[in-house]
């Protein structure tokens, strides 16, 4: 009879082979370097459960302030639109009709139009009248409009600066492209994602997926794919300003992923991020560089970006654009020639909670001659505040360096930091391994277990039979085959 130790060895080996074959791949990033877009890369080292733990061993006990969410709260949604009233109106319409709590949703729209254009509010009211015929324009009182002449437009940062002025006393603030489409329970989903960062200073930000068939079901339910956008690569535009290169992909995300970059297509945070970190209106006509300046300003004011885990006159223009670009270069310490706009410089400078130079190290961005960006397509880790006093005064009861009874909840609003991760609701479409984008990318060398382990397992099982057989069966078997061989010869 085979010894039980041999059986245990064999069963353990079979279990190891089965585990190696069936264990799903973890959250990871698929990306391509801007310098070689033809080569796809795949990073499996992502571990978002550790991302709020600083890498520096001396600071490893420090954490960001935990999220504070009141029982009842409002959400402000800011939109800046340029001669696109119909789609803007539909964005508002889906925002109200698909929210869990539409009575707590407020919109602020910078509507840049010419006299003959459809207004965003008029388009919304037409949709609303059809949906709620008993009301003239339901939720109209929840919409603020800053209408501006399209011919006087000065680029996205100028519009977003005025968009911030429409923020009221709401708890959460969302910025979107004005031609976005909301999905069912979007307000619940975004707040759940934000809470899953376990960081009061979190800013959810990314580029949105296109509305492909299947990503939004006919009833408006969110049905996101197996991979979602994540911003982590940069290049230089023709004016020398930093430009985010499209979006890489997080595979099978279960948690929001810490990022160094910010995307204008979606930005969700507490409203104190909008009121504390103002958009600089003196960077006129800036497209390349807008998102980098926003990211670096937010970070130096103490905020952290995360990508969500679930799927919201020519000469005058040329001169203003030059002054805006030179303002960017002056701010980041680059040399420049020509005019520069330094109006309200102190109001829109970098924050002092963390330094700009530290942000460059965190993001992998460099302005040094002859060097290229290192990018941030890897597991990032939270960087403690160099000067936490401003954050501590904003969040009574929380201190970066805790002692004794500090960081206790105030009025029941402060969530205790725990070692148990908060997971956002999983609404992704589960896909098989190597589906879609994963089939086109280059994976790191992986040990193939099916062949090598199975062969090794057979050898171990055979060895176990030889060693642990107690009844002489093995000896009789060998004698039988020797006799058969002699008989044939």
Report d(CA 227, CA 428) in Å as an integer.
Answer: 8
Query: pLDDT digits over 298-339, tens only?
Result: 999 999 999 998 754 333 334 455 666 788 777 878 777 666
Which of these, 319, 437, 327, lies nearest to 31 by C-alpha position?
Answer: 437
The single residue listed with the structure tokens 């589906």 is 435
The bridge status of strand 227-230 relative to strand 248-251 is antiparallel
Confidence of residue 483 (pLDDT cuts 50, 70, 90): low
Q: What is the DSSP string of 83-151?
A: S-HHHHHHHHHHHHHT-S-GGGEEEEEEEEE-TTSPPHHHHHHHHHHHH-TTSSSTTGGGEEEEEEEGG
**What is the pLDDT, as a whole number, of residue 287?**
73
pLDDT tens readout for residues 363-375: 988 888 878 888 8
Q: How far apart are CA 230 and CA 471, in angstroms?
A: 63
What CA–CA distance (Å, rounded) separates 94 from 221? 11
N residues, the chain: 489
**Beta strands at 304-307 and 227-230: parallel, antiparallel or unpaired:** unpaired
Model confidence at 239, in pLDDT bands (50, 70, 90)? confident
Kindly report the CA angle at 247 between 246 and 251, in degrees rounded to 5?
Answer: 160
Q: Which residues contact 97 (CB under 8 A, 6 or more apart)?
A: 131, 220
Contact call for residues 198 and 204 (beta carbons, < 8 A): no
Q: Report helix angle 449-468 to 4-22, nearest 10.
A: 180
Most confident of 5-14, 137-146, 234-243, 348-357: 137-146
pLDDT score recorded for residue 178: 86
Q: What is the spatial distance between Cα 411 and Cα 56, in angstroms, rounded to a whole number?
A: 33
pLDDT one-digit tens code per residue, 12-71 = 333 333 333 334 455 666 665 555 655 566 677 788 899 999 999 999 999 999 999 999
Longest dimension (CA), the chain: 107
Residue 212's pLDDT band (cuts 50, 70, 90): low
β partners of residue 148: 112
Percentage of residues in the chain with pLDDT exceeding 90? Answer: 42
The residue among 266, 256, 267, 248 whose CA lies nearest residue 377 is 248
pLDDT tens digits, 111-165: 999 999 999 999 999 999 999 999 999 999 999 999 999 989 888 889 999 999 9
What separation in angstroms does the CA of 182 have from each of 267, 289, 326, 482? 14, 28, 37, 78
User: What is the reported pLDDT for 455?
Assistant: 54
Tell me what the pLDDT averaged over the chain comes to: 78
The three-state secondary structure class of 334 is coil
From 66-75, 240-249, 250-259, 452-461, the region with the lowest mean pLDDT? 452-461
The pLDDT of residue 12 is: 37
Whether the model clears a pTM of 0.75, i.e. scores above it, the answer is: no
pLDDT over 80 (residue 246):
no
Ordered by start, the domain boundaries in the chain are: 4-24+449-488, 28-432
Residue with tokens 């890498």: 55
Rounded to whole angstroms, how far apart are CA atoms 196 and 257?
10
Between 413 and 213, whose confidence is greater? 213
Pair 103, 215: CB distance under 8 Å: no
Q: Identify the three-state secondary structure at position 307.
A: strand
Q: Using alpha carbons only, give the angle 263, 264, 270 rounded to the nearest 5 degrees.
A: 90
Question: Is the alpha carbon torsion for 278, 198, 221, 129 positive or negative?
Answer: negative
CA distances from 219 to 86, 185, 225 (A): 21, 12, 17
Partners of 251 in beta bridges: 28, 227
The topology (CATH level 3) of 28-432 is Spore Coat Polysaccharide Biosynthesis Protein SpsA; Chain A (3.90.550)
pLDDT band at 76 (very low <50, low <70, confident <90, very high): very high
- Strands 75-82, 40-43: pairing is unpaired
Give pLDDT tens digits for 379-435. 999 999 999 999 999 999 999 998 644 544 444 344 433 334 555 555 555 555 554
């Amino acid at each position: 009879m085979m010894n039980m130790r041999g059986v245990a060895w064999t069963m353990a080996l079979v279990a190891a082979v089965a585990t190696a074959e069936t264990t799903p791949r973890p959250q990871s990033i698929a990306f391509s370097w801007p310098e070689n877009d033809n080569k796809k890369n795949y990073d499996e080292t992502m571990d978002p459960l550790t991302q709020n733990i600083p890498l520096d061993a001396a600071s490893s006990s420090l954490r960001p302030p935990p999220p504070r969410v009141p029982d009842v709260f409002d959400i402000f949604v800011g939109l800046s639109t340029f001669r696109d009233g119909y789609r803007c109106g539909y964005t508002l319409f889906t925002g109200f009709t698909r929210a869990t709590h539409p009575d707590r949703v407020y919109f602020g729209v910078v509507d840049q139009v010419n006299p003959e254009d459809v207004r965003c509010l008029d388009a919304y009211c037409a949709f609303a009248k059809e949906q709620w015929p008993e009301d003239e324009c339901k939720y109209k009182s929840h919409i603020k409009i800053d209408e501006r002449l399209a011919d006087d437009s000065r680029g996205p940062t100028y519009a977003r600066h005025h968009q911030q002025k429409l923020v009221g006393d709401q708890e959460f603030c969302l910025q979107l492209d004005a031609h976005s489409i909301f999905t069912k329970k979007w307000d619940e989903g975004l707040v759940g994602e934000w809470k899953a960062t376990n960081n009061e200073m979190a800013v959810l930000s990314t580029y949105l997926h296109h509305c492909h068939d299947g990503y939004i079901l006919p009833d408006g339910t969110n049905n996101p794919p197996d991979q979602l956008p994540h911003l982590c690569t940069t290049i230089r535009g023709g004016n020398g300003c930093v430009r985010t290169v499209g979006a890489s992909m997080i595979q099978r995300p279960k948690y929001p992923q810490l990022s160094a970059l910010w995307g204008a297509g979606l930005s969700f945070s507490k409203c104190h991020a909008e009121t504390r970190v103002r958009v600089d209106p003196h960077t006129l006509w800036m497209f390349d560089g807008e998102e980098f300046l926003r990211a670096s300003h937010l970070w130096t004011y103490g905020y952290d970006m995360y990508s969500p885990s679930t799927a919201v006159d020519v000469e005058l223009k040329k001169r203003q654009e030059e002054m805006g670009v030179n303002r960017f270069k002056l701010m980041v310490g680059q040399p420049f020639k020509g005019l520069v706009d330094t109006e309200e410089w102190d109001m829109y400078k970098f924050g002092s909670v963390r330094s700009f130079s530290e942000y460059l190290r965190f993001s992998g961005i460099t302005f040094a001659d002859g060097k290229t960006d290192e990018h941030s397509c890897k597991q990032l880790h939270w960087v403690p505040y160099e000067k936490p006093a401003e954050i501590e005064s904003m969040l009574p009861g929380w201190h970066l360096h805790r002692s004794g009874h500090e960081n206790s909840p105030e009025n029941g609003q402060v969530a205790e930091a725990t070692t148990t991760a908060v997971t956002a609701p999983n609404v992704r479409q589960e896909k098989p391994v190597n589906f879609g984008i994963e089939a086109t990318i280059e994976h790191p060398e992986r040990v193939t277990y099916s062949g090598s382990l199975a062969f090794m397992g057979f050898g171990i099982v055979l060895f176990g039979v030889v060693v642990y057989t107690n009844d002489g069966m093995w000896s009789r078997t060998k004698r039988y085959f020797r006799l058969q061989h002699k008989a044939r010869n």
